[in-house]
Amino acid sequence: MEFGASIFFTDYSITPAELAVAMEERGFDSVWAAEHSHIPVPRRTRADSELGKRYYDVMDPFVTLTAAACATQRLKLATGICLVIQRDTIQTAKLVASLDQVSGGRFLFGIGGGWNQEEIENHGTVFRTRMQTMREQIGAMKAIWTESKPEYHGELVEFGTIMTWPKPVQKPHPPVILGGAFPWAARRAIRYGNGWYPNAAAGLPQDGAGGRTRSGFSAGHDRRGTRGSGQAEALPRPRRRAGQCQPDVGSPRRDPAEIGQVGRLHPPAAQLRDAGKRAGLQGGRRESYKRVTARPTTDRRRAHMPQQIRAVVVDPSVPGRLAIREVGLRDPDRDEVGVRVTAISLNRGETRRALQVAEPGWRPGWDFAGVVETAAADGSGPEPGARVVGILPSGAWAERVNCRSHAVAVLPDAVSDAQAATLPVAGLTALHALRQGGLLLGRKVLVDGASGGVGHLACQLAAAAGAFVWGHVRRDEYRAAVAEWCGERVVVGRELSAAKPHGPFWLILDSVGGSSLGAALGMLQPNGTCVVFGVSAGSTAAIEGREFFATGGTRLYGLTLFHELMSVERAGIGLRLLAELIAANKLRPRIAVETQWGEIGTVAQRLIDRDFTGKAVLHT
């Protein structure tokens, strides 16, 4: 059995360095630093309970743990817990990696979603969705820790490609320990963590239920204190099947010599182990830390083992770097539908990442169409048997997926699965880009890359809105395809500036960047808008500033689709509109490649090589 101690470090407690040295000398395994940024006054959450002074006096855990790291050689340093939902995702990832570097790989990342609603909301976080925010934050941090050019596109956490160092010493990253009460925190640990940090005050599992089993407390201290003072915490720890208690080291300053005299294990290790077994949980190894895994059970209150499905994963050992492998699929959340996927579509962004920069095991895929097998438990979304189209932040290239009900739309009978699969990223990007132009009736619109996945849909949607649409392509062989929806208004040229004689334009859509973006900004009419949503030709553009601002009222808008879906309109609304336009013969997706998903590697490389125009659709 190994012991760790939890403390609220304050300006009147024992110092982090003193405590860390004393603990290391006495053979302790780890020190856990609590976190609260502030306590709002007055407080509605648990307003009838008295909070100790340490709650609003506590120091920042990354600062105190750094001091502890510099004073020790072996002691592990843990946040217990870090309120990640109150922190910036990218900066916190850097803090974790930096502390892991400074400590030589001794950091444990204890996290939790918090309980103090006012404190959380003061940081701009929505309390109701904080657990989803935390899950996406950790997914984003894992990408930052393990990839040289990470990007993340979730519903609540989103950023484009970045570069940030250092990376953690521990590979693939420091253990992520989920803090909280049974069963929910344990299920989160199963889903995306490396261990579980039980909340003793909320009870430990007994006979399959969340029974209230008191944890032990320090000798000579009463039980009036809450977590971290006068009460130890049950804690699953390295290389054992038992829980672990944290002895109280309290908030007040104390003599380090006392540390070795406090702390006892209660409940016994066997009790924790047996309680976990009765609750349907068993211990598992991941690196050197306990990971809770679920046993199959018919009790709906308990966690389930993920079902096995086939999905496309990044595998550098195979030609094309993409392979179909068996992976686990978790149970859907309450607001998710379970969908059997029938068709998927490839987009350049996800495909480039998969073939060029993604780490082994990453699961690409945004677009899918399929049939609902499991309705959302909260009653939202379509019923089983409904044909749907949907979008995911990643992992859509699979036999089955779980998707938020607001990110799917039911398909009209006249729309095929292949047509539907082209819509999520390409169609929604075109739709949101055109909306930046407002009323388009009688306006001049220029679409760069008009033969591409987004471009060909944007031309059609703009024309349907009553705009005069010019489509720009760089090769004459693409003229005929674009002429289907632009008529004679097709511009061919290596540079977008070839369209200048036809301007100025009310709205210009650019996915190329580089010199094209600079040219676009010089072709806007007064109060016109340029929307940029890609940089396939280069991320640096030279802009003629005088030409841009002297026109008057011109605007440059950077569009990232997943940001639009979070802040402007949910995906299901736009997908339903696009599908209805197909059914009404007002929108015709151009499918250049349609085959089985076993050809994923070959088709992906052809897309990157620009071997075809339009969309590629694969059937599962």
Lookup: tokens for 159: 């950023």
Looking at 3.20.20, 3.30.465, 3.40.50, 1.10.540, the CATH number of the domain 4-294 comes to 3.20.20
Lowest mean pLDDT among 41-55, 145-159, 321-335, 406-420: 41-55
Higher pLDDT, 96 or 288: 96
| Two domains, one topology: 307-425+568-619 and 437-558 | no
Looking at 3.40.50.720, 3.20.20.70, 1.10.10.10, 3.30.9.80, the CATH number of the domain 437-558 comes to 3.40.50.720
> What crossing angle do the helices spanning 130-146 and 184-192 adopt, rounded to 10°?
30
User: pTM of this prediction?
Assistant: 0.56
> pLDDT by residue (tens digit) across 174-220?
999 999 888 888 889 989 999 988 875 554 444 333 332 223 222 22
Give me the chain's average pLDDT, please: 83
Lookup: tokens for 557: 């808008």
Looking at 3.90.180.10, 3.40.50.11540, 3.20.20.70, 3.40.50.2300, the CATH number of the domain 307-425+568-619 comes to 3.90.180.10
Given a cut of 60, is residue 316 above it in pLDDT? yes
Burial of 593 (0-12, 13-18, 19+ CB in 10 A): middle
Burial of 306 (0-12, 13-18, 19+ CB in 10 A): middle
Give 3-40 as a DSSP string.
Answer: -EEEE---TTS--HHHHHHHHHHTT--EEEE---S---
Given a cut of 50, is residue 521 above it in pLDDT? yes
User: What pLDDT is stored for residue 305 in this prediction?
Assistant: 57
Residues 343, 420 contacting (CB under 8 angstroms): yes
- Per-domain residue ranges for the chain? 4-294, 307-425+568-619, 437-558
